[in-house]
Structure 1
Amino acid sequence: MRAVLVLICLAVACGGCSRVADGFATVPSARVALYPELRATGGKFASGVLLTPGEIRETAQLPGLRVGQGVDAMFRSTTDATECAPGYSLAEVAAYEKYEAARIELHVEETEVARLHTVGNAVVTFSDDVTARQQFQRFNGLMARCDAITSATHTEKDPSSWRLSVTSADTADEVAWTRSVIDSSWTCYMAARQRANFVASSMFCTHGSDNKAGDVLNRLTLKLAEAR
């Protein structure tokens, strides 16, 4: 009986994924109530809130991925002089004015001479769903002005220049974008989605056009919908 109930829940959670923006299936606003609020304790989330390494490898179809960086914070990858800093990664401090907690986990595949893939997922929480929606709409507004913008990181660790392209934007609850490094084949595909009091996001970096950021985000939001 428990198995039947689980299947029913999955059908309900997935059955509403009918709105598609540039290949990313998104949950209609009527389904937002399916998502419970997320809360961190002492600035940290319970273990397993994000996708496990096995789930990441399966979704990305990259069995060679290994666990990389994991932080209980948002990234600060750029300086204040960087134009369009919110789009540098899947969860940047510059993206939101106020948030309560964050968790980012990255997984990497590399050889002795080069990075082949970086795959990440993240969650950022706010005090309530109203604040989350307001902050995400602000982020979407920032990203809308960054389409086709070329910027630079302005740090010693990463002096590269890169170009942002917003591939889909829905000021209600979703945005997807790419960051392509100038004079390189390295491209990061990213997507973010607001649900309840949190924003879930994903990143898929590779040399080429194989974009699985939407697949990772879909699996993450489904997992968060089941976290009751």
Structure 2
Amino acid sequence: MRWAPGVFLSIAVLASGCTHPVGGTAAAPQGTKPFYSKVQPEQRIMAKKLLTAEEIGEVTGIPRLEQVVPIETVLANGNIVSDCAFGATLATRQQYLSFTAARVQTATKVADGVREYTISNALVVFESVANAQQQFEQFSSRMQRCDGVRGDLNTATGSESWHIQVIHAGDDEVNWTRKNDSGKWSCRLIARPRANYIASVMYCRLVDADDKAEQVISRLLDKLAG
């Protein structure tokens, strides 16, 4: 995206405009399930749990990804008016109404002045496991009504029309794609509740076919279970 005015109104805004859990699960020994410990709501701890630009590059094969300054909270709101647009971001107050701490870490690649990738992973930590599940179920319920919804996203260079396709919205996972009508930018979000937090990935790219969101969320869940 070309940077939208204001400070990171959404990761979707951060990502869109150059011209917002899952496929994949954490690896575990056969016959066992990965164990996810509760995450303490401290930024230094959350920073170590999330993927770095280097780790994202390793799993996607994308060279020369650059780390963006992390966001140490959920975002106040989006710059788009549709109710469903609030779900078309990585983490907003409209998306999760009650949380203890949050962190978004992003890697991006720009070539010849064109943003080719913006790949973000996030943790939103809640007071308890029950609270995390409740908040996720409410988010999932809202997103179930959003399949096919269209909207507009304001950027520094104008307005982009987009539409959402909801692949899955259940108690275990929210998984959707959002594409600009111009065909120049596509995003996929995968989010899953784990222990007392929600882990999510947003994978935005210039080439629609180059979707590796599932690989990134799998790597993130591996790291969280480690």
- Corresponding residue SS for 1:70: strand
- Corresponding residue for residue 106 of structure 2: 106
Counterpart of 1:55 in structure 2: which amino acid?
E
- Corresponding residue for residue 209 of structure 1: 209
Larger Rg: 1
Q: Distance in 2 between matches of 1:121 and 1:180?
A: 19
C-alpha change, 1:154 and 1:210, in structure 2 (3 Å) is closer
- Corresponding residue for residue 73 of structure 1: 73
Counterpart of 1:86 in structure 2: which amino acid?
F
Detail structure 1 runs of 4+ shifted over 3 Å in the superposition: 153-159
Q: 2:90·2:200 contact (CA, 8 Å) conserved in 1?
A: yes
CA drift of 1:155 comes to: 6.8
Select between 71-80 and 195-204 the one with higher mean Cα deviation. Answer: 71-80
User: TM-score, normalised on structure 2?
Assistant: 0.80
- Corresponding residue for residue 60 of structure 1: 60
CA drift of 1:31 comes to: 3.9
Q: Distance in 1 between matches of 2:81 and 2:70?
A: 26
Q: Distance in 1 between matches of 2:80 and 2:202?
A: 22
Q: Distance in 1 between matches of 2:40 and 2:157?
A: 33
Aligned residues: 199
- Corresponding residue SS for 1:172: coil
Counterpart of 1:60 in structure 2: which amino acid?
T
- Corresponding residue for residue 40 of structure 1: 41
Counterpart of 1:40 in structure 2: which amino acid?
P
Question: Within the alignment, does 1:175 sit opposite 2:174 as a pair?
Answer: yes
- Corresponding residue for residue 137 of structure 1: 137
Q: 1:123·1:199 contact (CA, 8 Å) conserved in 2?
A: yes
Counterpart of 1:177 in structure 2: which amino acid?
W
C-alpha change, 1:172 and 1:83, in structure 2 (3 Å) is closer
Q: 1:123·1:198 contact (CA, 8 Å) conserved in 2?
A: yes
- Corresponding residue SS for 2:94: helix
CA offsets per residue over residues 64-118 of structure 1, 9 Å max, x none? 2111231101134524733312332222222111111101011111123311111
CA drift of 1:215 comes to: 0.9
Percent sequence identity over matched residues?
33
Q: 1:102·1:122 contact (CA, 8 Å) conserved in 2?
A: yes
Select between 52-61 and 68-77 the one with higher mean Cα deviation. Answer: 68-77
Q: Provide structure 2 residue ranges, at least 5 long, that are not aligned to the other structure.
A: 1-21, 27-31
- Corresponding residue for residue 184 of structure 1: 183
Q: Distance in 1 between matches of 2:44 and 2:193?
A: 18
- Corresponding residue SS for 2:109: strand
- Corresponding residue SS for 2:164: strand
For the aligned residue pairs, the C-alpha RMSD in angstroms reads 2.3
CA drift of 1:218 comes to: 0.9
Question: Within the alignment, does 1:118 sit opposite 2:118 as a pair?
Answer: yes
Counterpart of 1:38 in structure 2: which amino acid?
V
Q: Between the two structures, name the one with larger relative contact order (CA 8 Å, sep ≥ 6).
A: 2
More helix by share: 1
